Structure 1
């Protein structure tokens, strides 16, 4: 499931396309627009006359100011990631005050299969665990990263919000007091010194024959090393898999106190369900549906842990 607001390379202003060619040092001879993702803006693979391929993201701050802010944040994060991290290298960037453009090395890979295949998931879990090691301590100070996308239950306790929540997750509506307490406790249990991706789902992972790459870093934050892997583990519920065996074997989670896992799942689901419940009519319906599905998956796992 992806969004529906991508724009094409041919819709980019000529001066921006010229700037891209200047930055790459070569003429663009072909463009393959990518339809995936949930944000407005350009996402395209460019073939250059030099024979090189690059991946370009671009957006106008006039039509999509929030996405432009994310692009600027991602550029700041990407240029400071160490070479040991499994991420595409940022080659260059362009920002004229209106158009924000990021140029990355092109990774000839594919998204993980959905529903999850066990072998692919285990391979990705190994790569993400190694990534956490490479990004501890964080190469970027917490003040330069985003706030964690966690929490939201106190905003869903009354009125239409509670009614919508009860429709999406009767279990959450019946356990709101517990969820609010767990979310509050997560402030302490997610603290740490690891640079985290902060949005680690299968649509932000590319697999090649040899490696797994983690893409799209605007929501990176500094916290406990286990947060990204728990995000991924919660997602496997949608594929009918049990996350608990992965918790027991993964080096970042196998020694965690159960309460640390529960508090993260509550805060994680709180953010997703708040997004799904409070989204206005202008929100991308695919994004809303995705948030609801991912939030429900985390709640199903949490519900089994805390019946």
Structure 2
């Protein structure tokens, strides 16, 4: 795991990172009654299935070819084997049902819930994940799409009661665990030495990140599809309502994993260029706090590919925050 480097240091990720979790299952792994139930919902037998890349949820994430020529995308998880993921799927089903039809997001076709297994059934989106490392053309294309998406999702079309709390913050909680602090120092002494400053920044989440826009909340390359007709943003269980610049900053922080300086993009983007710099600092601190708390407190049973990605993304946030000047109140 990498130290937050200086401005002239190497990319945070010094080896390829998997963008797909290691706990996926295949269509044939589902219980027969679950397969039959999903086929009943889609109205045709499944003749083939292909697991799809991107994302770290356990369970099924497959494109199903149907006997009538249609294709649908299905995500499924068991409350017994992956209870948190099953709850994510239930939340995503509810959120996606509320998203505007014109927005470049998945279209919900139906769902399945037998009390144990939960599945969301979505229209196929033709496209592929962005390349890694990020390329300027693809990154710019996605950033342009986020401007339009923000307009589509303001005011938020989803009732707050359907949403979970934003996945932000964790520095103050880390100080309560000596073991977590030891593990944090092994990842980044820079953050361990400044944890009070980071905690002070994340304390201002409610004030500095407030807004009326529905945000994705987990906007990285593995949740984006590039198609011939546009950019689609998928996987919405972690959506929350806040300031429109937040998803742009989250996406740009991932560019730092590849050694790309996100600051010029932030200065130019319409959703970030006029934002008080301290508000960006608050988001970077809160986002890295969530990620690195996950990394330093995870049990050994957690998917190692998820921990590796969360570590790289958390350190990338810190890298950008370090280059901005930790907690600066006025930086242009």
- Give TM-score scaled by structure 2 length: 0.90
The structure that is helix-richer by fraction is: 1
Tell me the residue number matched to 1:205. 224
Tell me the residue number matched to 1:64. 82
Partner-residue secondary structure (3-state), 1:44: strand
Gaps of 5+ in 1: none
The question of whether the paired residues in 2 share the 8 Å contact of 1:6 and 1:35 is answered with: no
Q: How many residues align?
A: 307
Deviations 1:43-76 (Å, cap 9, x if unpaired)? 1111111111111111111111111000000000
Counterparts of 2:30 and 2:180, CA distance in 1: 39
Matching of residue 186 in structure 1 with residue 195 in structure 2: no
Tell me the residue number matched to 1:103. 121
Matching of residue 90 in structure 1 with residue 78 in structure 2: no
The question of whether the paired residues in 1 share the 8 Å contact of 2:52 and 2:63 is answered with: yes
Counterparts of 1:281 and 1:45, CA distance in 2: 31
Tell me the residue number matched to 1:27. 45
The question of whether the paired residues in 1 share the 8 Å contact of 2:54 and 2:223 is answered with: no
- Give TM-score scaled by structure 1 length: 0.97
Gaps of 5+ in 2: 1-17, 327-332
User: 1:306 deviation in Å?
Assistant: 1.4
The question of whether the paired residues in 2 share the 8 Å contact of 1:207 and 1:213 is answered with: yes
Counterparts of 1:165 and 1:265, CA distance in 2: 17
Tell me the residue number matched to 1:294. 313
Report 1:110-121 matches (<5 A): 110-121=128-139
Q: Which has the higher contact order (CA 8 A, sep 6+)?
A: 2
Matching of residue 271 in structure 1 with residue 287 in structure 2: no
Partner-residue secondary structure (3-state), 2:110: strand
User: 1:186 deviation in Å?
Assistant: 2.1
User: Which region of structure 1 is more displaced relative to structure 2, 7-16 or 116-125?
Assistant: 7-16
User: 1:34 deviation in Å?
Assistant: 2.8
Partner-residue secondary structure (3-state), 1:84: coil
Deviations 1:218-244 (Å, cap 9, x if unpaired)? 101111111111000111111111111
Report 1:137-216 matches (<5 A): 137-157=155-175, 158-216=177-235
